[in-house]
Structure 1
Amino acid sequence: MPLTVETEALLEFKNQLEDPLNYLDSWKKDSDSPCGFLGVSCDPNTGLVTEISLDNKNLSGSLSPSISMLQSVTSLVLPSNSISGEIPWELNNCTNLRVLNLTGNNMNGSLPDLSGLRSLEILDISENYFSGGFPNWVANLTQLVSLGLGDNDYDEGEIPESLGNLKNLTWLFLAGSNLRGEIPESIFELSALGTLDICRNNISGNFPKSISKLQSLWKIELYQNNLTGELPVELADLSLLQEIDISMNQMFGKLPEQIGNLKNLTVFQLYENNFSGELPLGFGDFRHLKSFSIYRNSFSGQVPENFGRFSPLTTIDISENQFSGGFPKFLCATGNLQFLLALENNFSGELADNYGECKSLERLRINQNNLSGKIPDRLWALPSAKMIDFSDNEFSGGISPIIGISTSLNELVLSNNRLSGKLPMELGKLTQLERLHLSNNEFSGEIPSEIGYLNQLSSLHLEENSFTGKIPGELRQCVRLVDLNLALNSLSGIIPNAISQINSLNSLNLSRNELEGSIPENLQKLKLSSIDLSKNQLTGKIPVYLLSMGGDQAFVGNKGLCIDGSSETASISGFAVCSRNSLHKRFIGNKRVIFCIILAALIVILGGLLLVSYRNFKHSEATEMENDLKWDKKTNHNWKLESFHPMELDAEEICNLDEEKLIGSGGTGKVYRLDLKKGVGTVAVKQLWNGNRVKVLATEMNTLGKIRHKNILKLYACLLRGGSSFLVFEYMENGNVFQALHREIKAGEVELDWYKRYRIALGAAKGLAYLHHDCPRPIIHRDIKSTNILLDENYEPKIADFGVAKIAEGFSSQRESETSCFAGTHGYIAPELAYTLDVTEKSDVYSFGVVLLELVTGKSPIEDEYGEGKDLVYWVSTHLNTLEDVLKILDNKIVSNSIPDGMIKVLKIATLCTIKLPNLRPSMKDVVKMLVDAEPHTFTSPSKHGKKETVLV
């Protein structure tokens, strides 16, 4: 039986798709009708295909133009897949199409003009990689009700005035679209608009007063732009408004009192601006508010007395302002509050007793205020709390024994208060505790031995108190302890040898106590980077390694200490010698001197030989440079200049670099920040070491110079003259992922929350997937690592450093000298490279898996705690037996009850990427798909596009 036109069209559509999970098995040639195909719907009267819906089916490949043969199709819905390629222009023939949803794929190229789809009501092509100019033609689709164009790679441009033609629009999503300039007035004529989302762009100008015309508006997303000016009183006219986020702009001034009349608000966010003054009193009457985030502004005065009393608040962050007066009493009045963050203000007085009933609290930070009095007893017993931080206040009283109920605690920070009394033994019940900071208080008595039960503890600070008695030997059970500080107390007895058994210990401070006896010799076995035993009553010999590592100041004030006279530090140390040197020891010392003289002579001889060889090499290198670098040369003051992006550059300015602007140095050269004088912006300039010029220049030019992808670093130009070589890149303000992971905004506060880490993981995965699957000739990076993933001002990731990259196709035909070159970084190198140089895309997948592990755990690829010769992949593999073990390896600095599920999903992806056998690892396309499914929905507003609802400090 001959195939119908529609069956033939659908089978051709299927043929251009990859279907690894076999969802399209029902699409067969011998079917009587396509109406039985999975995801296909037909008109019951005519039998013609009307809908194709294949949401989240793990499909890849491309869209076939055959779809244009389905003349009656009204709905084409293919979101959350991995489909790539361009939209076929033939789609214009589907004139009955009312719904086109391609969001969340890997589609690219310039968008074809689809003005022929005049019946279209829903168009969503967001979250792809479409490039070229902004699609102004959408203004011709006047029946549109829902329009999503955001999160693509359009050229920088303005919002077209013609979008005002779309009078039926109720949903407009233009986030992350490289838009600049002001919002055109025509947008405010769209009277039916309910959602206006233009976040993450470069929109400038004052917040538009005309927004009050949009009387149907219930959601405004304008965060992360360049808006300035004050919040207009006209905003209060939007009586249906439920959510507003104008965070991360440059707005200032007081909030109009009338804003308190927006009684339907559920989300109110304007953090990281310059607002000042008091909050409108009407905020105390809100009945629906769930999320309130205004941190990093300059608000002052008292918080309205009834704030939160009638609202189902789950999150409030008023940190880093200048609020004063009593601490608000009713933030948890409805019993839903999970995150209470009010650090760095001027609140005074006591905490209300009713906070002890807030059993829902997960994160409580009211540090750096002027709060006083006793902490309510019941506030010590919060069963869901992960973090309690009362530090830098004036609290008094003690820690209640009922703290043993708070068994979920990861961090307890009480430093710099007036707390007193003995520590309760119930602290030993907090087995999830990782940070216990009680420094600079008035605690007394002995350190409870029950602290030894805290086998997750990594940081213990009890300094500047009045503790007495011995250091408990049970500390040996704190096998993860990295930082131990017991200084400035009245501890006595000896330094227990048990401390030498804490193999993870990195920093030890026992100074200014009354400790006696000798320093345990076994302390030398620990890989300490910091030690201070000064001002005690210690006697005996200072172990040589500890003296050389800590210096004199680590041991001063111990009159009974001495040093071994044979030590190299004897001549410069201020300590007495324990005993005279024996003849044997002097002989050993003389042997060392003779050895050093012989070694120095050998170095001089070898240096001379290398100099001769180097001069010969430089002569041949100059010729090789001219042969290897095949480019179209422009001249700029005798420099050879190759530009890859339209950008005016002055070679002399590029190449006269100031050492004060040095921002990095690595194996291929030094990197400088340069603010171009002609106002075209800031760039990063890499000056290559001479030995790397040929290979690095040629490789980076042939890869970065041709790539256009938002998650791949832009190479603007290459410059060459004589022995000098420079590469000009876009400047990445936030450095690299490794730096950002380990930077602290302030003590104990990390820069990257889980939302940022997830977006970094997804963006980097999309960039790497582009290299592997969407370049005309697939590219293997060969050195994927967290330091080669750079972050722009919005923490958008970009893969960088293509100096050792290779083309996948025809790899074996490349010169032997190239293919035999080992590339990669210890800790990221795939295990198969130990026995083969046959590099494939799966080697990059393994390295990327290590980066995912870094993002999830907060750890480095190589750390001493993993064991000799072990790495992060091995360490994680030993913690996957139970859910309890898995939760322990999640980065405790960011984890909370609301996000482990998403973190665990990414952890699973990482373990798949780091499977030992390459053929069992997923492709990067599959990784992108899995990461999309791991989106941290609990961190988002109801928006389908996963917009961040708040930053959890």
Structure 2
Amino acid sequence: MPPLILNPLPFLLLALLCLSCFSLGFSLYRDTQILLRVKNSQIVDKNDSLKDWVPNGYHNPCNWTGINCDARNQSVVSVDLTSTGIQGGFPFGFCRIRTLQNLTLAQNSLGDIILPRPLALCSHLRLLDLSGNLFVGGLPEFLSDFSELRLLNLSYNNFTGDIPASFGRFPRLSVLCLYSNLLNGTIPPFLGNLSELTRLDLSYNPFKPGPLPSELGNLSKLEVMIIRNANIAGDLPDSIGKLVSLKNLDLSTNSLSGKIPDGISGLRNVEQIELYENLLSGELPQGLSNLSSLRRLDLSLNSLTGKLPDNICALLLTSLHLNDNFLEGEIPASLASNPNLEELHLFNNSFTGKLPEDLGRNSELMALDVSTNDFIDELPRYLCQRNKLQRLITFKNRFSGALPEQFGECHSLYYVRIEDNQLSGNVPPKFWGLPRLQLLRMDNNRFEGMLSPSISDVWELEKLILSRNRFSGHLPVEICELHKLEALDISLNRFTGEVPSCITGLRKLQTLRMQENMFTGDIPSKMSSWADLTELNLSHNRLSGTIPPELGSLPDLTYLDLAVNLLTGEIPAELTKLKLNQFNVSFNKLYGKVPAAFDHQLYLSSLLGNTDLCSPDLKSLPPCSKSRPLSLIAVIILAACAVLLVGSLLWFIKSKSFGFGDKYKRAYKTSTFQRIEFNEEDIVPFLTSENHIGSGSSGRVYRVKLKTGETVAVKKLWGGTEKEETESVFKSEVETLGQIRHANIVKLLFSCSADDLRILVYEYVENGSLADVLHGEKCEQLMDWSKRFSIAVGAAQGLAYLHHDCVPPILHRDVKSNNILLDQEFRPLVADFGLAKTLQRVVTEGAAPMSRIAGSHGYIAPEYAYTLKVTEKSDVYSFGVVLMELVTGKRPNDPSFGENNDLVKWITESALSCPEGGSGNVEGGWNNLAHVIDPRLDRSTCDYQEVDMVLNVALLCTSGFPINRPSMRRVVELLKEYKVSRPKT
């Protein structure tokens, strides 16, 4: 029998298979140990985000949080710990996993300097993303071994200095993002060596002013170049045209000057060009017409001149922004043939002639803004042909003719400003009932006809401005159904009939202007719903009857004009309760004695023309008739009463001054500013430790419950050695809050002073200060973004009132979240006027030394440090910081910012996002705000575009140059107009 010969091949294959399995198992075991070692020694996981990183019997980490494995090779290829809240230094230990390709640690709290030697362990990586952390020092040096790196994102950190030369030696790098750091060197030419680069973002860095290196034109594969707000100066290099693959070019908000080079015509694949807010001049280059793929062009806020080339209109533009230049001439008719055009913004130029007749006929036009030009003739009738038009803005032109009938079918419209033109004729009846309208301004035209009852269908309308037209007929009662209406201005028209009594039911109404019409009848009297009304002007009509005393109960009314009517009766004493900046009842048929509060030379012109009004003090008015001489008996009785009264008064003062027994009582000086039912005896005894609720820079605050059941807040100012400063704070609060009333300013009810005591009594605000809620245990009550946005708008309105509606204007000088109180409905109330001054006093006392810095650390405008002068723009800066607090939930000097950094710097450096893909425009990066937005916010309530808008307003407010900051009135407009302009779902 022959010997049995076994085939060794199966055994060999089995051995190799076992060896391979052992090798794979050992590899995963080793990777598991590396991951656990990094978790335990190199990072801090306070949020317990990596709680599933624990040893298991299989030594398989592939199902752990943030770990991704290659299924075929069973090896760890990716670690992604984005937004897990980890802390510590750069965890280089992850790179000991030799199969690791992608390391993403974005949006955490990692920090410190990244050293070259530990970083060298990561040379095999293809993707490294450390964005949104707290790294400092210079950018890390990369050794030559980094030959595989494709994506490098170090954005949103605190890196400083130059970009190292090693950044020009990545042979395969396709994405480089360094935006929002503190890089202060120059943009280096060697970046032009990155031959595989497809995306470059260096935005929001304080580079040294200098040109854009021409060598960047060598990046033939580059698709996205974003270098916004980076101090680029000088001419745009002609080599920019060599970027033949470029799709998105954004060099906005820099100092580029000179002409746009003709070489730009080489960008044959470009879809978006953003060069707005530079110093570019000259005419638009003809080469723009060669960019056949161009969809969005924004050259606004430059100094461009000349005419709009006809051939540019043949492009596939969806959005054209040329506003704020010096462009002139007519708009080419061919623009109307573009089927892609969605947005056309040409405002603030010198364009003339007609708009193309077919504009909007061939495209789904959504926004048209040609305001502040010199256009003439009729508005194009087809602007809303596709029923997509949302914003129609044509104010300050010379448009004429009637409003096209087709506009009555434009149900998509929600924002219309066609004021300051020469439009005429009747408004199409259906136009009055467009259901989505939120803002409608048609003032200063030549419209006529009646206001249609269909206005009741415009449930979302907040502002209706029709002044300076020729409208006539009765004001329809259907206007009372506009329950969101905040401003109604129908002044200088030809309206007749009575003022609808139901108009007092418009609870949100703040401004009502009906002057210079022909209204008759009585003024509506049931006004209890007008809690927010600040301005009422019914002058120059034919109103009769008496002045309703109920006007005196309107808490926020500061402007009242009833002049030139047929009103009779006496001036109601209730009006003296109002804190009016404007008061006028002249030229009516009023009679009787002028109330004492108006019996002053200041109000004389407001009282003239009422022949039967009398005054004991105003010489221009007849004196009031004297009573008959009293009889001798009456004189004796009155004298006896007077003696008795004086004696009682002297006894009372003595008892108050020296007390009964051994108990000392002060002699108080009191003032009341509202209707109250208490005095100092109901307050002072309750200023005890049990009622103490807080302390501030100027004193302690107590909560006192009165006998009436009402609760008030009492501030007892500090005494002792700071008596002069305490008196200054006391006088400031009384002089400011005692004279003003506004829905968003805390009400001062009562003041009381003695030799060693100064107290101020305010309305009690249930939810404390914004700082208490935002940074304290009650923050869960501000999880809803809409609440925070309402607080922003309300606080802005309060400050705007101080700056613009008070005479003289008032500067708060200590705007901060601690001084914004929140009532039961979270309505904001600006408070603590201890440092406030009128602008007049600031001017006259500007050279005088101050006893202490006006303001609070973190909120003080930078110019104050070296000028020691405050203006209304100082308040604007402080309010910008408050806006940033509302968005981020962080304090102005949060420890997480690091040394020598604050909230303003952090937000300024975090103003843009850099997603891995997408077009790179702002509209594409909302979700990248995640590391800025307060993580406690309910994200389902966040409108990221609204959040971004608030941040943009905050950045404007905190500009380093006061002249660049908007006024508070403009801040209110920016916040509210955005809300109006957004379609509601």
TM class by shorter-chain length? 0.5 to 0.7
2:551 matches 1:532 = no
1:333 Cα deviation after fit: 3.1
Task: Report what 1:607 is aligned to.
Answer: none
Kindly indicate whether residue 31 of structure 2 is the aligned counterpart of residue 6 of structure 1: yes
Deviations 1:79-127 (A, max 9, x none): 4555555546413212211111233444444432123423212111122
Q: How does 1:795-810 map to 2 (within 5 A)?
A: none
2:397 equivalent to 1:372: no
Shift of 1:486: 0.4
Query: Map of 1:442-453 to 2, 5 A cutoff?
Result: 442-453=470-481
Per the alignment, do residues 88 and 473 of structure 1 end up closer, same or farther by CA in structure 2, a change over 3 Å counting? farther
Q: Which residue of 2 aligns with 1:35?
A: 62
Residue 893 of structure 1 and its aligned partner are, at CA, apart by 1.4
Give 1:452-491 correspondences, 5 Å limit.
Answer: 452-491=480-519
- Pairing 1:70-109 to 2, within 5 Å after superposition: 70-81=97-108, 83-87=110-114, 89=116, 90-109=118-137
Shift in alpha-carbon separation, 1:739–1:107, aligned structure 2, 3 A: closer
The within-5 A match list for 1:417-428 is 417-428=445-456
Partner SS for 2:182: coil
Q: 1:372 to 1:79 in 2, by over 3 A?
A: same
Aligned counterparts of 1:250 and 1:419: Cα–Cα separation in 2? 41
Unaligned stretches of 5+ residues in structure 1? 604-609, 619-661, 672-684, 705-711, 717-725, 742-751, 782-787, 798-841, 859-888, 902-953
Aligned partner of 2:589 in structure 1 is 559
1:893 and 1:587 mapped to 2: Cα distance? 62
Q: Residue in 1 aligned with 2:896?
A: 773
Report what 1:272 is aligned to. Answer: 301
Deviation at 1:552, TM superposition (A): 9.1
Match of 1:577 in 2: 614
1:690 to 851, 854, 867: 851
- Residue aligned with 1:8, SS: helix
| Secondary structure in 1 matching 2:167 | helix
2:416 alignment partner in structure 1: 388
Is the counterpart of residue 68 in structure 1 residue 98 in structure 2? no
Partner AA of 1:196 in structure 2: M
Match of 2:675 in 1: none
Match of 1:142 in 2: 171
User: Residues of 2 paired with 1:730 and 1:137: CA distance?
Assistant: 46
Secondary structure of 1:557's aligned partner: coil
Aligned equivalents of 2:265 and 2:872: distance in 1? 37
Query: Which amino acid letter does the alignment assign opposite residue 231 of structure 1?
Result: I
* C-alpha deviation, 1:25, in angstroms: 2.2
Contact 2:861 2:877 in 1 (8 A): no
State how far apart, in whole Å, the 1-side matches of 2:414 and 2:455 are.
14
Deviates more, 1:356-365 or 1:317-326: 356-365
The answer to whether structure 1 residue 305 and structure 2 residue 333 are counterparts is: yes
- Structure 1 residue 613, shift from structure 2 partner: 5.5
Aligned: 1:493 with 2:521: yes
SS at match of 2:264: helix
Change (3 A) 1:615 1:504: closer
**Deviation of 1:407 (Å):** 0.9
Contact kept? 2:527, 2:551, Cα under 8 Å: yes
- Of stretches 293-302 and 447-456 in structure 1, the one that deviates more from structure 2 is 293-302
Task: Tell me if the contact between 2:204 and 2:911 (Cα under 8 Å) persists in the aligned partners.
Answer: no
Which residue identity lines up with residue 139 of structure 1 in the other structure?
Answer: G
| Cα offset, 1:239, TM superposition | 1.3
Structure 2 CA distance for aligned equivalents of residues 169 and 899 of structure 1: 39
Separation in structure 2 between the aligned mates of residue 363 and residue 371 of structure 1, nearest angstrom: 17
User: 1:261 deviation in Å?
Assistant: 1.9
Residue 50 of structure 1 is matched in structure 2 by 77
Q: Superposed, which structure 2 residues align to 1:830-841 within 5 Å?
A: none
Whole-Å separation in 1 of the counterparts to 2:153 and 2:867: 33
Alpha-carbon offset, residue 296 of structure 1? 0.8
State the shift of 1:534 in Å: 0.5
Q: Which residue of 542, 548, 551 corresponds with 1:523?
A: 551
1:443/1:466 contact within 8 Å kept: yes
Q: By how many angstroms is 1:165 displaced?
A: 2.3
- Spell out, residue by residue over 1:841-864, the C-alpha distance to the aligned partner (whole angstroms, 9 max, x if none): x9x999xx99x9997999xxxxxx
RMSD: 4.9
* Secondary structure class of the residue paired with 2:401: strand
Q: Which residue of structure 2 lines up, in the alignment, with residue 932 of structure 1?
A: none
Q: 1:400 maps to what in 2?
A: 428
**TM-fit CA distance, 1:420:** 0.5
Residues 713 and 729 in structure 1, CA contact (< 8 A), matched pair in contact too = no
Residue 553 (structure 1) shift: 6.3
Alignment of 1:127 with 2:156, yes or no, is: yes
How far, CA to CA, are the matches of 2:852 and 2:892 in structure 1? 31
1:324 aligns with one of 352, 355, 366: 352
Cα separation, 2, equivalents of 1:734 and 1:108: 35
Structure 2 stretches lacking a partner, 5+ long: 1-24, 616-623, 631-637, 658-665, 670-717, 727-809, 815-832, 838-845, 913-933, 951-972
| Higher gyration radius (CA) | 2
Distance in 2 separating the partners of 1:612 and 1:44: 76
What is the distance in 1 between the residues matched to 2:538 and 2:720?
55
Contact in 2 for aligned 1:447/1:471 (Cα 8 Å):
yes
Aligned in 2, Cα 1:270/1:392: closer, same or farther, shift over 3 Å? same
Pick the aligned partner of 2:533 from 499, 505, 510.
505
Distance 1:247 1:129, change over 3 A: same
Q: Does the 8 Å CA contact 1:42/1:50 hold for their aligned counterparts?
A: yes
**C-alpha contact (below 8 Å) 1:248/1:272 kept by paired residues:** yes
Return the alpha-carbon distance in structure 1 between the equivalents of residues 93 and 599 of structure 2.
81
Look up the equivalent residue of 1:225 and give its one-letter code. Answer: N
Deviates further, 356-365 or 39-48:
39-48
8 Å contact from structure 1 (residues 244, 269) kept in 2: yes
1:527-547: CA deviations, max 9, x gaps? 311011001111111124536
Q: Is the 8 A contact 2:49 2:84 kept in 1?
A: no
Map Cα deviations across residues 215-269 of structure 1 (whole Å, 9 max, x no partner): 2222211000001111111111221121110000011111022212211101100
Counterparts in 2 of 1:171 and 1:308: CA distance versus 1, 3 Å: farther
| Greater displacement, 500-509 / 275-284 | 500-509
Partner of 2:343: 315
1:344 alignment partner, SS class: coil
CA displacement, residues 706-745 of structure 1 (integer Å, 9 cap, x when unaligned): xxxxxx98979xxxxxxxxx8449999994685798xxxx
- Measure the CA separation in 2 of the matches of 1:501 and 1:283: 55
**For each residue in 1:799-845, what CA deviation from the matched residue of structure 2 results, as whole angstroms up to 9, or x when unmatched?**
xxxxxxxxxxxxxxxxxxxxxxxxxxxxxxxxxxxxxxxxxxx9x99
**C-alpha distance in structure 2 between counterparts of 1:617 and 1:453, whole Å:** 52
Percent of aligned pairs sharing the same letter? 26
SS of structure 1 residue aligned to 2:522: coil
Q: Per-residue CA shift, 1:40-60, capped at 9, x if unaligned?
A: 334556544222234455655
Classify 1:114/1:857 alpha carbon distance in 2 versus 1 (closer, same or farther; 3 Å).
Answer: closer
Figure out how many residues of one structure are paired with residues of the other and give that number: 715
- AA partner of residue 105 (structure 2): L
Would you say the 8 A contact 2:359–2:382 is kept in 1? no
Give, in whole Å, the separation in 2 of the partners of 1:546 and 1:120.
76
Partners of 2:594 and 2:812 in 1: CA distance: 41
Shift in Å at residue 24 of structure 1?
Answer: 5.8
Determine the structure 1 residue equivalent to 2:977.
Answer: 893
Distance 1:46 1:505, change over 3 A: closer
* Matching residue within 187, 206, 214 for 1:159: 187
2:387 aligned with 1:350, yes or no? no
Aligned equivalents of 2:870, 2:173: Cα separation in 1:
38
